[in-house]
Amino acid sequence: MVAPGEPAAPLLERVCDARRAGATVLSLGPGAGELPAMAHENLSVPDGSELDLDTVQHLVSAAAGENARPAHRGPRRFRDRLSRLADLLTAPPPTRW
């Protein structure tokens, strides 16, 4: 769930019902309120940060759909994939030969 602010009570009830039914809840937003408490994974984007919510949402979507090479040691977590993508996108360009 992506929310720029605190979601309304009816929406939080639907998320809670979905979680009780077995859905995995991922939250992306300001990191305050009830939503991060009921999410399995939470990625906070504080106001005034270097990246805005739309950019972070795009990075999360790209990391979720990324075709990664098989890991040598155990499965990679979602946050590891997201971190690697962010590192690749924010790295300086390679030096010329």
Determine, yes or no, domain membership for 1: no
Residue 83 resides in a domain: yes
Burial class of residue 87 in the structure, from the number of CB atoms within 10 Å of its CB (0-12 exposed, 13-18 middle, 19+ buried): exposed
**What's the confidence (pLDDT) of residue 83?**
84
pLDDT tens, 31-82?
777 878 888 887 777 777 777 777 777 777 777 666 656 555 666 678 888 8
pLDDT score, position 38 = 85
Number of domains the chain is built from: 1
Helix locations, 31-96, DSSP H: 35-38, 53-65, 78-90
Number of H helices, E strands in the chain: 4, 2
What residues make up the domain containing 36? 9-90
Give pLDDT, residue 73.
Answer: 61
Residue 95 lies in a domain: no
The pLDDT tens digits of the residues spanning 83-92 come to 888 888 887 8
